[in-house]
Amino acid sequence: MVMRNSLVYSRRTGVLAAAGLAIGIALHVTYSLLGIGLIISKSLLLFNVIKYVGALYLIYIGVKSLMSKKSESANHSDAVISKKDLTPIAAIRLGFLTNSLNPKATLFFLALFTQVIDPSTSIWVKMLYGVEMSAATFMWFGIIATILTHKQVSTLFEGIKHHIEKVFGAVLLALGVKVALGSRQ
> The pTM is what?
0.71
CB atoms within 10 A of CB 39: 14
Confidence band of 80 (pLDDT split at 50, 70, 90): very low
Residue 74 pLDDT more than 70?
no
Interior angle at CA 162, CA 161 and CA 163, nearest 5: 90
The whole-number average pLDDT for the span 176-182 is: 84
**Chain-wide mean pLDDT for the chain?**
82
- Residue 184: what pLDDT? 59
HEC string of the chain equals CHHHHHHHCCHHHHHHHHHHHHHHHHHHHHHHHHCHHHHHHHCHHHHHHHHHHHHHHHHHHHHHHHCCCCCCCCCCCCCCCCCCCCCHHHHHHHHHHHHHCCHHHHHHHHHHHHHHCCCCCCHHHHHHHHHHHHHHHHHHHHHHHHHHCCHHHHHHHHHHHHHHHHHHHHHHHHHHHHHHHCCCC
More confident residue, 124 or 18: 18
Distance CA 20, CA 37 (A): 20
Average pLDDT over residues 64-71: 78
Confidence of residue 118 (pLDDT cuts 50, 70, 90): confident
Confidence band, pLDDT 50/70/90 cuts, at residue 185: low
Which band of pLDDT confidence, cut at 50, 70 and 90, is reported for residue 114? low
Yes or no: say if 89 and 97 are a contact pair by the CB < 8 Å rule. Answer: no
| pLDDT over 90 (residue 23) | yes
